[in-house]
Amino acid sequence: MSRHTILPGQPLTALYLLHVGSMDARLIGLSVERHWKHTVHLASSLESGRVVLIDCDRPGVEAAFEQLAPHPRTGVVCYAFHPKDHAQRFPNRVILGKPLNLEALPGILAKAAAESARIIAAPPRRVAPAHDKPPAEAAQPTETPPSLGHGLQTEDERDLCGVMDDLPAVPTGPLPERLFFNPDEYLIGHLQRAIEQAASSGRPHLIAGLPRLIGVRPLPVPACITDFRDNQLRPLSMAQLPPTTARLISASSLTNHGSETVSASEDFLWNVAAWAARGRLPEGADPYKPVRLRAWPNFTKVFMSPHALRISALWVRTWASPVEIAARLGIPQRYVFSVFSSARFAGLLDSTPPVRSGSTPQPHASSSASTPTGSATSEPVTRQQPQRPSILSRILRKLLNAV
């Protein structure tokens, strides 16, 4: 029996996206179209939905629950970056963690819908209209949600950079698991393997099994070719892909029909990594280890998270850990983590710091004082570099000699 076979008495789960962000709505819509067409369909209204999805991190979540008061037999599935933080606010609710596990979500939705359908319908609770309250009482909010970030965020900032709390300035214990993501569970892992295999074999590779193909061309310069648009690629990059969804295929050549977008592999990796990270770090990264950007990212072509320009400007000229960069700039760490993850997969991150003398980097002094085994050939170059006159002084000298 096929896994898509519909048994009698098991209708499609009617899902209504009651309170979700635009990125999550695109992601779920893409999943319904590609993978859930025989298990889930999107309802057009709250009345026609059997289960609703609510993002607890978005402002106005209390108003969303108020809309559910006349619908006690509608199932509710919530999700948040920190589910435990919302358990007291919304007791007896199913609260999943972000990012959503798209492989298990259809079953969770069906279970929530079935359990709520067995509840005996109660008379809808009357919600007093706003004019019944005194003006002073109506102006006061009933509940102030706890702060989940540093100041206000736009919807895209929450979806793309998360609401992760900052780490302490120095390590005090084990790092939280929610700080990290496994690249192999996302498109970025498949893409990185495809680029590595194409570079080692010298042959183009394809990532198949997705709604559209993604091609990797190693020559003449590494490039990625696809007809995915950004508004389609972004939610796909943010989703956890089942292990059998994507597969790598070696190809003899890649044909560009004119509708595809050709991007440098570095830029393509940067974008897909940023969307997968959502303000987190790849597994194995150390947020307290000093690193440096090798070069400026191409911000005319890549996704630019909040403060990315300031982060890059500081990181290209200094060795510092992600935690230290955030402290110097006075910004939330999740924005630095987003740049770190993108730069790591794009190959722009230098993780081998220079030799330091004391606490202040002094590359010239350390080179001259080092043992001959390390830099015998580079030592004369290092000593001659500061003595070389500038081009301005050489021009002035010629002008003076000509008089």
Express each pLDDT in 295-326 by its tens digit: 998 888 888 888 999 999 999 999 999 999 99
Q: What is the mean pLDDT of residues 62-75?
A: 84
**Residue 345: both structure tokens together:** 């997969």
- Which single residue is written with the structure tokens 């990270």? 277
Distance CA 318, CA 325 (A): 9
Which residues, in sequence order, are CB contacts of 354 under 8 Å at separation 6+?
319, 361, 363, 366
- Which single residue is written with the structure tokens 């599935």? 77
* pLDDT higher than threshold 60 for residue 182: yes
First to last CA, the chain: 97
Confidence at 2, pLDDT banded by 50, 70, 90: very low
| Residues 249 and 215: beta-carbon distance below 8 Å | no
- Give the β-pairing of 75-80 and 180-181: unpaired
* pLDDT higher than threshold 70 for residue 282: yes
Distances from the Cα of 136 to the Cαs of 60, 139, 140, 191, in angstroms? 20, 5, 7, 57
**For residue 389, what pLDDT is reported?**
56
Ranges of H-type helices in 247-294: 265-277
Cis status, amide bond into 134, omega within 30 of 0: no
| Residues 109 and 42: beta-carbon distance below 8 Å | no
| Residues 77 and 94: beta-carbon distance below 8 Å | yes
**Residue 214: both structure tokens together:** 């993604």
- DSSP reduced 3-state for 41: strand
Closest CA to 65 of 92, 43, 99: 92
* Strand blocks (E) in 105-257: 180-181, 205-208, 214-217, 223-226, 247-250
Distance CA 1, CA 6 (A): 10
- Give the β-pairing of 51-55 and 75-80: parallel
Task: Give the lowest-confidence range in 23-32, 171-180, 390-399.
Answer: 390-399
**For residue 137, what pLDDT is reported?**
42
pLDDT > 70 fraction of the chain, expressed in percent and rounded: 74
What pTM did the predictor assign? 0.57
**Residue 319: both structure tokens together:** 């060795």
**Phi–psi pair at 120, nearest 5 degrees:** -65, 125
